[in-house]
């Protein structure tokens, strides 16, 4: 009888252990199912991951097949869902505004010869070219303004560039006589472009990414010399971080004397209220009243100061005329009064 009880107890123990094992297996099986679901969720591609909008970053692209296929991209400005790129291919500089909205990456504006810095994020453009759109799945197709057709043809293409290897989304744009293929990698953005037309092939591949970098521009600042009644200029390397306000950086640089033999143009309290290149191709600069009240100059020296301002900002914006105002009013000092619409002409007959 005792042996029977022991045997029965042993059977119960084995059954319990077996049941626990099956229960654990069932739990593990459930975890595997959850894991599969998580992996499926992770495989969902979001457009924001394929066009990151970062600040103080520079992308370098190596080109083949054309002298302008190599180019650099620096980020001048960003805001919520928008980025302004500075694209320099060695022949020209273009400003491009791109927006992430409603599951689309859209280029809103492109402006050529944009050697100066000006925030164009809120400037109305007429380009509206969709570069990439959701769903990020093979077969997604849309037409762009010039009637070319753009299609996502693959979402996991192996692409190798001088900077690294990526799994990329492949986007093909078909024209009547040409084809462009763009490759976008997660957390990086555009890593390669291939343009073909007949036997011609031009490629641009990502070769370097530099983080925490500034844009450096060589800018000429003009100053009067009261001793010989001439105007001189000095080149300065001016650095800009993403979203730096150009007028503030330039005002600060202008307050610093380049040479002890030259006169000051901006006093310590002078501020630039606004600065921009207008559609009439004239530069409009508005200064605060401290510029006039702290000038302390005779008529001739004042004219040299105003000419220095015209030359400095005219050259920066590649313009021949500037309109100068004080606190949004017409310029007026003890020696000079300007009428509405009166401009100062840029004159480069100066000494270095």
- Kindly report whether the global pTM for this prediction surpasses the value 0.95: no
Of 122-131, 155-164, 203-212, the poorest mean pLDDT is in: 122-131
In this prediction, residue 43 carries a pLDDT of 61
Q: Rounded to an integer, what distance in angstroms lies between the CA atom of residue 347 and that of residue 352?
A: 14
In this prediction, residue 22 carries a pLDDT of 40
Of 137-146, 273-282, 294-303, the poorest mean pLDDT is in: 294-303
Q: 246-255 and 299-316 helices cross at what angle (nearest 10)?
A: 140
CB atoms within 10 A of CB 340: 7
Q: What share of the chain in percent tops pLDDT 70?
A: 87
In this prediction, residue 11 carries a pLDDT of 36
In this prediction, residue 351 carries a pLDDT of 58
Q: What share of the chain in percent tops pLDDT 90?
A: 79
CB atoms within 10 A of CB 338: 17
Q: Is the CB of residue 155 less than 8 Å from the CB of residue 137? A: yes
In this prediction, residue 2 carries a pLDDT of 38
In tens, the pLDDT along 20-33 reads 434 344 434 344 44
Confidence of residue 36 (pLDDT cuts 50, 70, 90): very low
In tens, the pLDDT along 274-299 reads 999 999 999 999 999 999 999 988 88
DSSP code for 351: B
Q: Rounded to an integer, what distance in angstroms lies between the CA atom of residue 346 and that of residue 307?
A: 7
Of 269, 263, 268, the residue nearest 222 (C-alpha): 263
Q: Which residue has the higher pLDDT, 159 or 6?
A: 159
Residue 246 has pLDDT above 80, yes or no: yes
Q: Rounded to an integer, what distance in angstroms lies between the CA atom of residue 112 and that of residue 93?
A: 6
Q: Which residue has the higher pLDDT, 2 or 340?
A: 340
Residue 273 has pLDDT above 80, yes or no: yes
Per-residue b or e along 213-229, where b marks 16 or more CB atoms closer than 10 Å to that residue's CB:
eebebebebbbbbeeee
Token digits of residue 308: 């220095």
In this prediction, residue 27 carries a pLDDT of 35
In this prediction, residue 240 carries a pLDDT of 98
Mind listing the domains of the chain with CATH numbers? 47-211 (2.40.360.20), 215-345 (no CATH)
Average pLDDT, the chain: 88
Q: Which residue has the higher pLDDT, 37 or 257?
A: 257
Q: Which helix (H) or strand (E) holds 237?
A: strand 230-240
In this prediction, residue 12 carries a pLDDT of 34
Could you give phi then psi for residue 148, rounded to 5 degrees? -70, 155
């Amino acid at each position: 009888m005792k042996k029977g009880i022991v045997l029965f107890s042993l059977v119960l123990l084995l059954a319990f252990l077996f049941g626990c094992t099956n229960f654990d297996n069932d739990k593990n099986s459930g975890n595997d199912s959850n894991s599969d679901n998580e992996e499926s969720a992770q495989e969902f591609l979001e457009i924001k991951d394929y066009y990151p909008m970062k600040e103080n970053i520079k992308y370098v692209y190596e080109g083949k097949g054309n002298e302008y296929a190599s180019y650099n991209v620096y980020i001048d400005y960003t805001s919520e869902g928008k980025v302004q790129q500075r694209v320099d291919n060695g022949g020209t500089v273009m400003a491009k505004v791109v927006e992430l909205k409603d599951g689309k990456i859209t280029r809103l504006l492109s402006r050529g010869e944009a050697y100066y810095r000006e925030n164009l994020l809120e400037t109305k453009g007429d380009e509206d070219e969709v570069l990439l759109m959701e769903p990020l799945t093979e077969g997604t197709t849309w037409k762009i303004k010039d009637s070319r057709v753009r299609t996502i043809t693959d979402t996991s293409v192996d692409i190798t560039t001088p900077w690294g290897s990526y799994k990329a989304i492949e986007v093909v744009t078909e024209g009547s006589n040409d084809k462009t293929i763009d490759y976008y990698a997660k957390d990086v953005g555009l890593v390669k472009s291939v343009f073909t037309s007949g036997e011609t092939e031009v490629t641009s591949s990502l070769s370097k990414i530099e983080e925490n970098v500034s844009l450096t521009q060589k800018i000429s600042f003009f100053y009067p010399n009261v001793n010989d009644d001439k105007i001189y200029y000095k080149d300065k390397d001016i650095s800009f971080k993403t979203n730096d306000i150009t007028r503030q950086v330039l005002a600060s640089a202008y307050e610093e004397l380049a040479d002890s033999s030259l006169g000051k143009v901006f006093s310590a309290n002078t501020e630039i209220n606004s600065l921009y290149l207008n559609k009439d191709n004239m530069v409009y600069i508005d200064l605060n009243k401290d510029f006039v009240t702290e000038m302390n100059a005779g008529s001739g020296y004042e004219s040299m100061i105003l000419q220095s301002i015209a030359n400095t900002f005219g050259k920066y914006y590649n313009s021949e005329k500037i309109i100068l105002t004080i606190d949004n009013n017409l310029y007026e000092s003890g020696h000079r009064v300007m009428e509405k619409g009166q401009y100062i002409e840029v004159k480069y007959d100066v000494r270095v």
